[in-house]
Structure 1
């Protein structure tokens, strides 16, 4: 991407729709190149919502996409893709990458963690802490907790940042 694509924006401003489209295109090119290098079949879908670009890599039929669909691998690929986008645009990216439905699988795991924490609270605990997780995962947890009629907040710093659930 050329320097013409690089734009300046105040740090707190939400990215524009065009900036998200640009992020998605850059990220798709990066992931497509990676898939080609690794000889992995996959189709890439790009979406922009909630101030983030979303990339989904899917495959139909016989595919070796599962080789890179483990949650830890997807997280690492997401960080590399974000760095590629940032290198090209000069802006921090909050891009979300999903490979082979890994995000849906992780959302189900998070819902199970919340359900277990809710059980502890219903059994008399005043709070229940979840393990540290990414800001995106904490956001999902906050949404799940609110749906369950409880409250939550993030505590801690850096890699130790985690969610604490309490009664509403």
Structure 2
């Protein structure tokens, strides 16, 4: 097997990602039923990942949309998908618009970093965050003409922003 074969075989197909989304949705439906929370599930495939969104006008759902709770539920759902499919999952979970809310929070962190840079700092470090959140920060920084790099290991991995 060549390096190219390994790269190609490790990229999940759209069908694989749709199956991953279906498995995740089944797990989440059971979880919501146990918690007696109503929610509509929407599945999508974007940027090589399965996206599962839970939406509803339920107060119970708003409790689940806290960033730490979404992160924990995402990890549990990924484990359930991995257990069922035998493959590592990079599925993204959004509950009640939590990803949009988190993006706005990350934009505010980048804005605060820009203020530090405008004040003369050569770089601005952001707090530790998940790989998905760091990717969002990298995208925001790039959109704003900034440079961003991740440093650290594990739970201490964080992003540092500089000017070009």
TM-score range, shorter chain: over 0.9
Please list, as runs of the form range in 1=range in 2, the aligned pairs for 1:90-109 lying within 5 A after superposition: 90-109=86-105
Instruction: Flag structure 2 segments of 5+ consecutive residues without an equivalent.
Output: none
Q: State the TM-score, normalized to the length of structure 2.
A: 0.93
What is the number of residues matched between the two proteins?
159
1:57 aligns with 2:54: yes
Which protein is richer in helix relative to its size? 2
User: Which of 12, 16, 27 pairs up with 2:13?
Assistant: 16
- Select the structure with the greater relative contact order (CA < 8 A; seq sep ≥ 6): 1
Q: CA deviation at 1:135?
A: 0.6
Q: Which runs of 4 or more aligned residues in structure 1 lie more than 2 Å from their structure 2 counterparts after TM superposition? A: 9-13
- Name the counterpart of 1:132: 128
Q: CA deviation at 1:67?
A: 2.2
**Cα deviations by residue, 1:9-30 (Å, 9 ceiling, x for unpaired):** 9477221101100100000000
**Cα deviations by residue, 1:69-121 (Å, 9 ceiling, x for unpaired):** 11111100000000000001111100000001111111000000000001101
Please list, as runs of the form range in 1=range in 2, the aligned pairs for 1:28-43 lying within 5 A after superposition: 28-43=25-40
Instruction: Report the CA distance shift for 1:11/1:84 in structure 2 as closer, same or farther (over 3 A).
Output: farther
- Matches of 1:42 and 1:57, distance apart in 2: 6
**Cα deviations by residue, 1:112-168 (Å, 9 ceiling, x for unpaired):** 000000110111100000001001000000011111111001111111110000111
Q: State the TM-score, normalized to the length of structure 1.
A: 0.91
- Matches of 1:167 and 1:121, distance apart in 2: 8
1:154 touches 1:164 (CA, 8 Å); kept in 2?
yes
1:48 aligns with 2:57: no
- Name the counterpart of 1:149: 145
Give RMSD over aligned pairs: 1.4
- Matches of 2:38 and 2:59, distance apart in 1: 6
